[in-house]
Each structure stands twice: as structure tokens, then as C-alpha cells.
Chains A and B, each alone.
Chain A
């Protein structure tokens, strides 16, 4: 079974702090994604990566950056946390590549509260 783990289930940070959210997958997937989920807004893509050191902006990248130094690890960075970044953050991975499975495997999520 594919396993996607996230470094924290719950996190409380202060406004202005730099926040790191870590995600690790164990199935050699090429693609990795960061989403945030807010009530009534579904899953919104922040950034994704289709290879090591490669990244592309999603729908809502403002205020976030990412890092993918190793294939299995994808980090989301909030450079200066703000209260409007309080949300559930979900990491996912997928096989990637043309004609291959599109299914994404999600981690359990990190509930981030910025005070």
C-alpha cells in the first residue's frame, strides 16, 4: 500500500513565523502535490512537483513556497504565516507520466492554526 505521511497532524503557529510542512511518500511516485482544504471550497492546489527539484504553481501559490530535494519528500513553506493561512493542508502523490494512473494518494492532513 502507498503510504503518504505528513510531519504533524496539528500545528499552532504565530503570525509572522516561518512554517515548514513536510510530506514523505514511500512508493517512488514522480508527482507530489500540496493542497489546502477550507469549508465549502474543496481542495485547492497550492504547488505540485513532477520531478526532483521541479515545481509548478497551482491555483493559490501566493504566500507559499515548496522544496523537493529528494524524490520521496516534498516540503511546503509558509515564509511568514498569516491568519488567513489557517487551514487543513493535504499532501498527495501519484505515479505520474503519460498514460499512467492518475489516482492520487493523500496523507492524513495537517491542521494548521495561525494566531
Chain B
């Protein structure tokens, strides 16, 4: 039973446009949600997070939205840049930082 799902394995957008990456979860006990970015041959790096008591968190070009009733979160990147091309992992945690990760979405931003 996969508790965190990223249903789109890949996404391609034009430079300057908005990228929207989606993530669904099933466990209502998750209280913290995170997005990580991964370049090839490197470990993932933390991008942005949101607590379950909020519905939006913004950091520069990156905004995460949380819809608890739908058990859905999304990452918006505006404007998208070629350097944003990477694999994006959604993660959810219950306690002490142990996280459950989605399978990842490969974002390609075309110049």
C-alpha cells in the first residue's frame, strides 16, 4: 500500500511558465510534508515544506499548497527555469523526521 503517490512520472514545461507537481497521500496521521529535488548522481536536497496546520507556504519561486480534505499537495514553480530540471520527490512524515517518499516526478524545463 503506497501511502504517498506522485501519479505523474514526468512533466515538461516551457521556460518562464508555471510548473505544477502533484502528490496524493492516504495516511491522515501525516503532519508534515516536504518536497525534495534531485539531480542525477547527487543526493536529494530539501526544497520546501509545509506543516499540516497550514495550507500554503511560499519561498521565492516555490509555493507548496496543502489540501487536507483531499489529502493532496502540490508544488508550484513560477517562473520555471531550465536549472529546475530535476526529479522532484514528495515526502510525508508522522514523527521525528521519518518520511515516506513518493516515486518522484521528472521535471524538464525547455528553454
Contacts and interface: CB of A to CB of B under 8 A. Distances in A.
Q: Do chains A and B stick together as partners?
A: yes
Interface of A: 4, 31, 33, 35, 40-45, 48, 50, 90, 92, 94-98, 100-109
B25 interface: no
Interface of B: 6, 9, 32, 34, 36, 41-46, 49, 89, 93, 95-104
Nearest to B46: A103
Given A106-B45, A108-B42, A109-B42, A40 B98 contact: no
Given A40-B103, A42-B101, A42-B103, A98 B43 contact: no
Contacts of A90: 43-44
A6 B104 CA distance: 23
A94 B93 CA distance: 12
Name which of B43, B97, B103 has the most chain A CB atoms within 10 A of its CB: B97
B46 A105 contact: yes
A42 B42 CA distance: 14
B98 A107 contact: no
Contacts of B44: 43, 90, 104, 106
Nearest to A107: B43
